[in-house]
Amino acid sequence: MNQTNWKRRLLLAMTAAVFVGGAGQAAQAREITLLNVSYDPTRELYVDFNKAFAEYWKKKTGDDVKISQSHGGSGRQARSVIDGLAADVVTLALAADVDAIANNGKLLPLNWEERLPDHSAPYTSTIVFLVRKGNPKKIKDWGDLIKPGVSVITPNPKTSGGARWNYLGAWAWAKKQPGGSDATAREFVKALFKNVPVLDTGARGSTTTFAQRGIGDVAISWENEAWLATRELGPDKFEIVVPSISILAEPSVAVVDKVVLRKGTRTVAEEYLKYLYTPEGQEIAARNYYRPRNPQVAAKHQELFPKLELVTIKDFGGWTKAQKEHFGDGGVFDQIYAQ
C-alpha cells in the first residue's frame, strides 16, 4: 500500500475518530442542563415545576436533567437573551417580550405562539391590588388609586412585563368608565403614575418595596404574587382587593431554537414546556397561584381565583400594537411619565 493511501486512510480514521468521539460525548451525556429564563415572580413556581419535571424525565428516559433558573423583569430578561444569555426556554410575562426575541434576536421563528396550545400561554393570571391589613385607604377599585395621598407601588413598564399588564388594566378600567375614551384613560394612567413614588425593575422588586420596605398604600400586583405575599409574608399584614375590571395576563413560553440547536437540547426543552400543560404541570401552576388552563384543575382551585370581568390584550389590538403604542420609545408611557 502506497503512502498516499496510508495518508488518506489515516486522515479518514482521524476524522471518524473526531465524529465518533463527538457522538460518544452525546451518547454519554446523561446529565442535561437547561436554562429557563423567566420573569420575576415565577421563582417558586419553577422551583416546584423543575423538580417535578426532572423526576418525570428521569423516569421516562433515564437521563438527569438539571434546570437552571434566571429571573428578573420580563423585558430586561428578553434583552439578556437577545444579548446572548443562552436560554433553552423562555417563560416570560407576556408575548411581546418573546416577540422581541424573535424579531430582534432572530433566535426563534415569528410563529412561536402557534407551537403550543393556548398560543403558548399554559397558565394565566390577572392583576389585583395588595393592600395593608384593614385597607386603611379604603381602596376598592382602580379609581381609588389616583386619590390624593394614596401611594401606589407598581414596577417600571419599560422593564417589567407585570407592570405592562398593570398599566393596561388601569387603562381598560378608565376607558370603560362613563364617558371613557383613550384620552380619559391616558389622563387616568398619568394621574396614577403621579402617585407612584418608586419604580422597581420587576414585580418581585415591587413586592419587596411594598411588603418588606413598608412603602406605599397599595401594590398593583400579579394575582399569584399577591397570594404569595399574603401567604408567605403574613396573612395578618395584607389583604387582596379584586378590582371590578382587570386584564387577563397570559405569560408566554417558548423554546429558543438557536440555543437548543447549538446545545442539542431541543427534545428535552420542548418536553419541558409541554409538561406545563399536563395535569401535573397545571396542578403545580395552580398551587403557585397561577390560573390553570385545564378546567378540571381550575375547578379544584376555584376558591383562589375569583371571577371578574377581564379584558384581554386583543382589546388593545394585540401585543405588537400595544407594545409600540404604549411602551415603545416615545410611546404613551414615556410621554406621561416624562411630564
Partner 1 sequence: MKIRRATALASLALLPFAGAAHAQNAPDQAGVNDDLRREIEEQKQRLAVLERKLEIQQEAATAAAASAPKITANAQRFQIGSADNSNFIRFRGTLFADNRAYAGDSAPETADTFLLRSVRPTFEGTFGGIYDFKLTPDFGSGRSIIVDAYAAARFKPGFIVTVGKFKPSVGLERLASEPDLRFMERGLPTLLVPNRDLGVQLSGDFAGGAFSYQVGYFNGVTDGQSSDNLATPDVETDTGGDYAARVFFQPFINSDNFNLRGLGFGVGSTWQDLDGVSTNPYLPSYRSQGQLSVFSYRANTATGTTPNNATFADGERLRLAPQLYYYRGSFGFLGEYTQVKQDVSRTVAGVTRSDTLTNSAWQGQFSWFITGEEESFKGFTPQSTFQPGKSGTGAWELVARIQELDVDDDAFAGGANSFANPLTAISKETSYGIGVNWYPWNTVKLSLNYDLTSFEGGAATGDRADEQAIFSRFAINY
For residue 307, count CB atoms less than 10 angstroms from its CB and return exposed for 0-12, middle for 13-18, buried for 19 or more. exposed
Q: Which amino acid is at 163?
A: A
Q: Tell how strand 238-241 and strand 127-132 pair up.
A: antiparallel
Dist. CA 314–CA 330, nearest whole Å: 22
Q: How far is the CB of 99 from partner 1 (least distance, A)?
A: 22
- Contact with partner 1 (CB under 8 A) among 33, 61, 80, 312: 80
4 or 111: whose CB is closer to partner 1? Answer: 4
Per-residue interface string for the shown chain with partner 1, residues 26-65, x marking contact by CB under 8 A: ----------------------------------------
Nearest residue to 166 via CA among 178, 177, 179, 157: 157
Q: Establish if 214 lies at the interface with partner 1 (CB under 8 A).
A: yes
Quick note: the x/- pattern for partner 1 over 110-149, rule CB under 8 A, is ----------------------------------------
**Which of 150, 191, 198, 304 is close enough to bind partner 1 by CB under 8 A?**
198
What does the DSSP 8-state code read for residue 163? Answer: H
- Under DSSP, is residue 131 helix (H, G, I), strand (E, B) or coil? strand
Size of the site for partner 1 (CB under 8 A): 31
233 binds partner 1 (CB under 8 A): no
18 touching partner 1, by CB under 8 A:
yes
Please identify which residue in 52, 82, 191, 215 interacts with partner 1, judged by CB under 8 A: 215
- Residue 23 or 110 having the CB closest to partner 1: 23
State how far the Cα of 122 lies from the Cα of 252, in Å rounded to an integer: 7
Distances (CA, A) of 101 to 40, 105, 256: 18, 5, 9
Q: Is 200 among the residues that bind partner 1 (CB under 8 A)? A: yes
Residue 205 interacting with partner 1 (CB under 8 A): yes
CB of 14 to partner 1, least distance (A): 6
Q: What is the DSSP letter of 249?
A: B
Single-letter amino acid code for the residue at 112: W
Q: What is the DSSP string of 172-186?
A: HHHHHSTT--HHHHH
Tally of CB atoms within 10 A around 240? 15
Which spans of this chain sit near partner 1 (rule: CB under 8 A)? 2-4, 6-7, 10-11, 14, 17-18, 21-22, 25, 72, 76, 80, 83-85, 151, 197-201, 205, 209, 213-215, 262
